[in-house]
Amino acid sequence: MLASTSSSSSSSSSAAADMIKARTYDVFISFRGEDIRDGFVSHLHKDLCRKNINTFIDSEKLQRGDEISEALSTAIQGSRVSVIVFAKDYASSKWCLDELVKIMDCNKCVVPVFYGVDPSDVRKQRGNFADAFAKHEENFKHDVEKVKSWRTALTSAGNLSGWDSEKIRPDSTLVDKIVNDILKKLNRGTSRANLEGLVGIERRMQKVLSLFQDGFPDFQILGIWGMGGTGKTTLAEAIFHYVLNGFQSYFFLENVRESDDQGTLSQLRQTFFSTILEDEYLYISTPTIGLSFLKDRLSRKKVLVVCDDVSKLSQLEYLFGGNNRLGPGSRVIVTTRDKQVLIQYGIDLIYEMEELYDDESIKLFCQRAFKSNHPTEYHQLKLSQMVLSFANGNPLAIKVIGSSLRGKTQSYQESEAKKLKQVPKPDIQKLLKWSFDGLECGEKEMFLDIACFFKGEDRDFVARIMEACYLSAYSRIENLIDKSLICVSENKIKMHDLLLQMGWDIVYNESPLEPERRSRLWIPDDIYDVLIENSGTKTLKGMLLDMSRIPKLELKAEAFVKMRKLKFLKFYLPSTFGRVQMKSKILLPQGLLSLPNELRYLYWEGYPLKTLPTNFDHPPTSRAFITS
C-alpha cells in the first residue's frame, strides 16, 4: 500500500472510514509505491472494475497513524479476496506489513503477486526484504513480537501459490490472468447468504465437515447416504461451494445415475477429466483410466469432486478407476441411496442423512406455505402439524406440499392436508419410486409385503416369514436397509410414511377398480367385498384384515379356493377390542373347504372351527407360521 505522508483532515478520514464500513468488497488490493499505483495496480484495478468486481484500493483520504486504521481493517475483513502485490519496497512500510498480518489472520482467500521480486526473497526475507527488516528490528527493539508477526506473515504469504511477473510478460497478460483467477475464486464459496432458505443445512454441514477434518489421512472419500428427498444433493452442493477455495481444481458430477441410464456417462467422464486437468484436448478412449501419464497428472493435483446420485459400484469404477488416484489433500463426496455402493468401493466414512428436526420442519413448511418462518395463526399451526405428521422430516415432501398450499383458502388447505395419505403427490412419488424400480424382483416383492403387512413387526419374525417365501430373504432385507427403503430401530422394522404410501400406491395401481385383482389387500372395505362376493383371484398374495372395522361376515366354504397364490393371511382384532365380540366377526357356517397350499403365514384370531381343512398340506419344509 502507498505509504503516503500527506495528511488529511480528521473529518475526511472519518467520512472515508464510515464509507468503508457501510459496504463490503469483492477484492482488497495491498501494495506500496507511487510507481506501482500508477502502473501495474492501476491496470489491475481498472480491469477488475470493468468486470464489475467491487474492489477496494487505498484512498489518500485515509489518514495514517501508528496502527492500521479501523477503516482499512474493516475493508480487509469485508473483502472476499485479498491481492497482495509484493514489490521491492513492500516490506519497508510498516503499514503494509500490518495490513499483511491482518489479511493472513482473516484466513480469507489470498492472491500473492510477486512483481519484480523473487518469491523466495519474500518467503525467507532476503534481498530488499532483508534490508527492510534490518531497519525494522532497529526501530522496534521495544516490540520484538510485532517484527516477528511481520516475518511470519511474509513467510506464510510467500508459501502461497501466486503470480510471478518474471514468468508472465507483458503486464497486460499478467493482469488478464490475475483477473480471471480472481473471478474463479469469487464464483466459489458458500456464504451464509447463499444458505438462506436451506433450512437445517448448516447443522448437517458442520457434521460432515467435522468428519472430513478429524483423524483421517490427507486423501479422503466421504459418502452421503439416505432415502430420496432428504437433501443429499443440496448438502453436497453446499459443502462443495463452501470448501472450494482450498483446492486447485473442482468438479460436480451431477446426476450420475441418469447419465448412466441415458448412455452419456462417457461424456460426463470426459468433461470431468478435461476440467480438473485443464486440458481441453484430453481424450480417453478406453473403458478404464489406464494411461500412466494421466494417472501421474491426477496424483499431483489437489481436487474436490462430488459424485451425485450414484446407484452402482460400476459407475464409480468407470469414473475414477480406483479410489486413490487423486493427489494428497483431495476430497471426494459421493451421494447415494444405496449404502452398499459406498461399502463396496471401500468408503467407510459415511454420513447418514438425518430427518429435519421439528422446529426446522415447521420453519421450512411455513416459508413455503405462508412466506414466514413460523405459524402466526392457529390455523397455520394446525395445518403445519397435519402436514408434518405426514412428511416426517423429509425436506422434499415439506417443500412440495407447502408450495402447493401457498395462496389457497383456509378450507382448501385443510381439505388438501386431510387427503395427503390417500392421494400421493406425483412429484414426491416419482422421486421415491426410482429406488423401488431399481430393486430385484424378489426385493420388490419383499418391500411391498413389508409396506402392506409387516411395518413395525419384529425383524427376526419378519425375516423367518420372508425366508419361507423368498430365496436369500435375510440378505435381501439387508439390501432394503442399505437402499434406504426400510430401517430397523429396537429390532423393529420401520418405514418412512412416504415410502409406505408409495408401496400402497404401487399395489393400488395394479387394479384401481377391482381390488380382487391386486396382489395385496389391507383396506377393510376392499377385503370385505372380496370375501362376501367370493371374488378372490390367483393374483392375491396377501391379506391383512382388522376385523374391528367390518360388520359380521359369513364366509362360504370355498372362500379361499380361487386364491391359490395366497402366502399371507392375517385376521386380527386390536387389543382394545372387546373379547366378547371377537367370535361373532367372521363365521364359517358351512366349514372351510380348503386353504391355499402356498400359504406361509396364517394368523386368524378367533378362528371359528376346531381344525384346519384336511387337505391343507403344509409340510415342515414350507415353514408355515400358524396362529389361531
Active site residues: 99
Helical (H) or strand (E) element with 318: helix 313-320
DSSP 413-475: HHHHHHTTTTS--HHHHHHHHHHHHTS-HHHHHHHHHIIIIITTSBHHHHHHHHHHHSTTHHH
Total number of residues shown for the chain: 628
CB 11, CB 67: distance < 8 Å: no
d(CA 531, CA 536): 7
SS (H, E, C) 188-221: CCCCCHHHCCCCCHHHHHHHHHHHHHCCCCCCEE
CB 519, CB 510: distance < 8 Å: yes
Torsion region of 218: left, alpha or beta (phi above 0 gives left; psi -120 to 50 gives alpha): alpha
Q: Which residues of 116-134 are buried (b: 16+ CB within 10 A; e: fewer)?
A: ebbbebbbebeebbeebbe
Tell me how far CA of residue 441 lies from CA of 166, 446, 501, in angstroms: 66, 9, 20
Q: CA 228, 234, 238 angle in degrees (round to 5)?
A: 155
Residue with cell 423401488: 436
Q: If you ran DSSP here, which 8-state letter would residue 55 be given?
A: E
CB 466, CB 327: distance < 8 Å: no
Cα diameter, the chain: 114
Q: Report residue 161 as a C-alpha cell.
A: 501459490
Nearest to 178 by CA among 223, 134, 113: 113
Tell me how far CA of residue 23 lies from CA of 28, 111, 226, 419, in angstroms: 12, 21, 41, 50
CB 491, CB 459: distance < 8 Å: yes
Calculate the CA 466 to chain-centre distance: 33
Q: CA 245, 247, 251 angle in degrees (round to 5)?
A: 100
The SS3 of residue 565 is coil
Strand duo 163-164 + 109-114: pairing: parallel
Phi, psi of 536 (to 5 degrees): -60, 150
Cis peptide before 515 (omega within 30 of 0): no
d(CA 188, CA 191): 10
d(CA 417, CA 15): 57
Calculate the CA 514 to chain-centre distance: 41
CB 540, CB 561: distance < 8 Å: no
CB 154, CB 96: distance < 8 Å: no
The SS3 of residue 578 is coil
Q: Which residues of 484-496 are buried (b: 16+ CB within 10 A; e: fewer)?
A: bbbeeeeeebebb
